[in-house]
Structure 1
Amino acid sequence: MNKSISVAVVMTVFNRKEQTEKCISSILKEMDHMSLSTDFYVTDDGSNDGTRELFKHYQEMYTNSKFVVLEGSGSLFWNKGMHLAYGEALKQTSYDFYLWVNNDVEFFTGFLSEILRDYSRAREKQKYVIICGGVRYRDRNELSYGGAINHSEINPYNRTLLTPNGHIQECDCVNGNCLLIPSETATLIGNIDERYEHGFGDFDYGYRLIRAGGQPFVASEFVGKCDRNSVIGSWKDASLPINERFVLKNKPTGQPPYSHKIFLKKWFPKLWLYYWLKPYIGIVSSSLTYRIRKS
């Protein structure tokens, strides 16, 4: 890969300006280390912390790159924001790769050259591939997000995260924190499914590739650092009142029932209703257990 490589970086943002700046800066550093043409396609979903001005600054500083910033409604969240930004990037036919990133990831120097090498290794095995970059916690060398293997055709949550081990590994579930999509795969699979509200779209994308005859792979090395979202204060927090947990669970940033139903019926249809109801049962049982132990 000695020729100039063109990459469209795709992300959706809502505030978190400082994290976005660290993320973008860590990606732009790759331009200093390799022959690379990089454009950015970003959905700004109603940020009010100066994020829009940040991208204007980058456009002034990096005139050889495009920074296409699309305005969201303020209620797009991750999946619909990615659908908007990725859809805009897909209108261009000149990119060799599309790179999905989350703006809370700070990438390691050399990450892109490494996953491009992983892409070359994967292409020896399969024509249509994607490379899922694993990220670790900021304070320890432990996987936080990445690719996984699902061990069951009927249980969507019987899966194991795959820690980078120096070799590419086949997977089926992929997180969108760092996802390298070659142009041929992008043409085959198309855009992310717009129906999902926040999550599920990245897992869905990996399953769609497998259904189409392709294969997702986990990158050989960690690509960056990003802490996993905390359970505290979320719908999984057993210390919260049951009714509050139900509300949090059904929000777009939780596990909204509409998106969950689409995902389960599409990929795990045999027991979809059971796994759709199971989180609600889990909320009640874990809350009761917590209160019994506390008393």
Structure 2
Amino acid sequence: MNKSISVAVVMTVFNRKEQTEKCISSILKEMDHMNLNIDFYVTDDGSNDGTHDLFKHYQEIYTNNKFVVLKGSGNLFWNKGMHLAYGEALKHSSYDFYLWVNNDVEFFTGFLSGILKDYSRAREKQNYVIICGGVRYKDKNELSYGGAINHSETNPYNRTLLTPNGDIQECDCVNGNCLLIPSGTATLIGNIDERYEHGFGDFDYGYRLVRAGGKPYVASEFVGKCDRNSIVGSWKDTSLPINKRFLLKNKPTGQPPYSHKIFLKKWFPKLWFYYWIKPYIG
């Protein structure tokens, strides 16, 4: 690949400065191995740990790369923060690819060349694709986040995560920890759905692509490492009192009723009410 490939990296951050630095540095290292032009579009949703200064530092060092940092309200969380940053990136149609990342992922050397090769393989099968990069736990070779296949048209939770196996695999829904979106697909699908408060937007994006006639694929190899969020202290923690779990579930970072309802009615309409009410009754 002699022609420079342009990539707009999209992320939303709230504190976690050290993890953000590891993430960005691991992405920028890809320019040492490929002819790449990488710009960053970031929502800083009220960080108070020096994250904003970190991006200023990167801009001073990497003068040929853009670091566009948008200020959030402090209440955007993941989905709305990604909507803001991705929307800004989409205003610039000159990019070959958009890359969604979570700032807690530390990427492996050569990950970007790997998923770009996977994209070329996928394009032989389908015009409109996205490539979901699976990430593994930091201390074991086991999938933490990635793409999944659905086994039911009515049960949103009957699905299986796909572990990278050396070849691309078709999937139905995707996690946004590492998601490569070609410009053609970005134009077709547009921005992430702003209505979701925190989660659901990445799964929704994959489903929208399928509905539009495209296809998500899981990358052939692990792209980086990132531990799965612990359920300890969350609404899924069965050791907590039920009233505490109820309050945690309804927070934006839990499974808030508004977002959950939108997602279920949109993609699993036959039994949406059952799965919407189920967490409250058992």
Q: Same fold (TM over 0.5)?
A: yes
Where 2:24 maps in the other structure, the secondary structure is helix
Counterpart Cα distance in 1 of 2:224 and 2:50: 25
Q: Which residue of 2 aligns with 1:291?
A: none
- Output aligned runs, 1:16-27, within 5 Å: 16-27=16-27
Q: Which residue of 2 aligns with 1:73?
A: 73
Q: Per-residue displacement from partner, 1:184-235 (whole Å, max 9, x unpaired)?
A: 0000000000000000000000000000000000000000000000010000
Contiguous gaps of at least 5 residues in structure 1: 283-295
Q: Residue 273 of structure 1 aligns to which amino acid in structure 2?
A: F
Is 2:233 the counterpart of 1:227?
no
Q: Per-residue displacement from partner, 1:156-200 (whole Å, max 9, x unpaired)?
A: 000000000000000011000000000000000000000000000
Is 2:253 the counterpart of 1:253?
yes
Where 1:272 maps in the other structure, the secondary structure is helix
- Output aligned runs, 1:198-237, within 5 Å: 198-237=198-237
Report the CA distance between 1:2 and its aligned residue: 2.9
- Output aligned runs, 1:28-67, within 5 Å: 28-67=28-67
- Output aligned runs, 1:82-101, within 5 Å: 82-101=82-101
Q: Per-residue displacement from partner, 1:60-112 (whole Å, max 9, x unpaired)?
A: 01001000000000000000000000000000011000000000000000000
Q: Which residue of 1 aligns with 2:142?
A: 142
Runs of 4+ residues over 3 Å off in structure 1 = none
Larger Rg: 1
Report the CA distance between 1:146 and its aligned residue: 0.1
Q: Which residue of 1 aligns with 2:276?
A: 276
Counterpart Cα distance in 1 of 2:280 and 2:2: 53
Counterpart Cα distance in 2 of 1:119 and 1:149: 19
Counterpart Cα distance in 1 of 2:246 and 2:2: 53
Counterpart Cα distance in 2 of 1:177 and 1:2: 28
Counterpart Cα distance in 1 of 2:224 and 2:145: 10
Counterpart Cα distance in 2 of 1:47 and 1:281: 37
Counterpart Cα distance in 2 of 1:254 and 1:192: 19
TM-score (norm. length: structure 2) = 1.00
Counterpart Cα distance in 2 of 1:68 and 1:114: 26
Identical amino acids, percent of aligned pairs: 90
Counterpart Cα distance in 1 of 2:46 and 2:156: 33
Counterpart Cα distance in 1 of 2:281 and 2:104: 32
Contiguous gaps of at least 5 residues in structure 2: none
TM-score (norm. length: structure 1) = 0.95
Counterpart Cα distance in 1 of 2:184 and 2:238: 45
Report the CA distance between 1:115 and its aligned residue: 0.1
Q: Which residue of 2 aligns with 1:180?
A: 180
Counterpart Cα distance in 1 of 2:183 and 2:238: 44
